Amino acid sequence: MDNYSQMLAFIWATEHGNFSAAARAHDMSPSAISKLISRLEDRLQVRLFQRGTRSLTLTEEGSAYLRSAKAVMDAMAEADSLAEALPSRVSGTLRLHTMTTFAKHQIIPWLSDFLKQYPALSVEIQVGAQYVDQFEQGLDLAIHSGVLPSSSRIARKIGESEWVTCASPEYLAAHGEPQHPQDLLQHSCFNFSFDSPWNNWSFKVAGEPVTVPVVPKSTFAQGDLLREMALAGAGIVRLADFHIGADIKAGRLVPLLSDFRLGIKEPIYMIYSNRKNLSPRIKVFRDFLEARLKEHPWTLLAAAG
């Protein structure tokens, strides 16, 4: 930093002709300018100026150093101008990890519009049911729900989701609609094949939370497979409303046991490694996603229940 200040003081002195004029132009004292240039000469072990009473004259070494110093300053100015353009330059590859169902039902529907708006940007989507910290491997963003492990990562809440017990109208016409959570034990139900809180079918009965020990007819590794079973009329499932909100709105699936809902909302987070100096590609994706969620909210139970 001191070397840079010495170089600036030297250039200012040559531009203004003496230390006093250079000091006035840059809100410094003449002695401060003089000290910086003296340190520069001591460091270079050459005399850069012939000092007169009213003016300065460059030595041969001073003239050579001035050419080099100006080249350095020009290069720095060019680097700064390139850096200033970076926040508006959205390019490269955005690497995202999220739940398969969130990718399919909440990102893919608008992704083509996003890519048209930012043609120099590509998006790489990795999917998995559970959050795994992969930022050290080049991940930019993660979107996951539920309780996140404690870490130094930044978690920005972008929404919340409620788990909905539902079935198709065809299944209900054939098997009847459960009127109490315990009735689920007499129905064909489907669950996830991995250990997860999502497999707990919890309700409020007589003001208290109760978990019904549903025994699934089949289990699946992906929520979309559970959804397909329900749509096919095979039985009852419990899925997030961000996943099946459109199906409920269209009448393809019917919410069940609404009077026994716990009403617990599961937060959905956008996770990134650091809040400071956020990459432009992360900012535009975040803003685009949040705008879409405001335009097309998935929470339907308040109206449906």
A 10 A CB-CB count for 182 gives 13
Q: In this predicted structure, what is the pLDDT of residue 88?
A: 53
> How far apart (Å, rounded) are the C-alpha atoms in residues 179 and 20?
91
Residue 90 confidence class, pLDDT cut points 50, 70, 90: confident
Q: In this predicted structure, what is the pLDDT of residue 167?
A: 98
Run of H or E including 290: helix 280-295
Q: What is the mean pLDDT of residues 200-213?
A: 93
Residue 183 confidence class, pLDDT cut points 50, 70, 90: very high
- pLDDT of 235 over the 90 cut: yes
- pLDDT of 16 over the 80 cut: yes
Q: In this predicted structure, what is the pLDDT of residue 89?
A: 66
Burial class (CB in 10 A: 0-12, 13-18, 19+), 250: exposed
List the end-to-end C-alpha distance of the chain, in Å, as a whole number. 66
CB contact set of 19 (below 8 Å; sequence gap of 6+): 13, 30, 33, 34, 37, 56
Q: Which domains are present in the chain?
A: 2-86 (1.10.10.10), 90-158+266-297 (3.40.190.10), 163-260 (3.40.190.10)
Q: Specify the residue for token string 């497979």.
A: 225
Least confident of 53-57, 159-163, 197-201: 53-57
- pLDDT of 305 over the 50 cut: no
Run of H or E including 166: strand 163-167
The tokens describing 75, both together, are 């290069």
Q: In this predicted structure, what is the pLDDT of residue 304?
A: 39
> How far apart (Å, rounded) are the C-alpha atoms in residues 142 and 133?
8
CA distances from 24 to 55, 73, 284 (A): 15, 21, 45
Residue 86 confidence class, pLDDT cut points 50, 70, 90: very low
Percent of the chain scored above 90 by pLDDT? 40
Q: Say what the pTM is.
A: 0.62
Mean pLDDT of the chain: 86
Segment of 15-19, 50-54, 167-171, 238-242 carrying the highest mean pLDDT: 167-171
pLDDT tens, residue by residue, 247-256: 999 999 999 9
Reduced 3-state DSSP string for 71-137: HHHHHHHHHHHHHHHHHHCCCEEEEEEECHHHHHHHHHHHHHHHHHHCCCEEEEEEECCCCCCCHHH
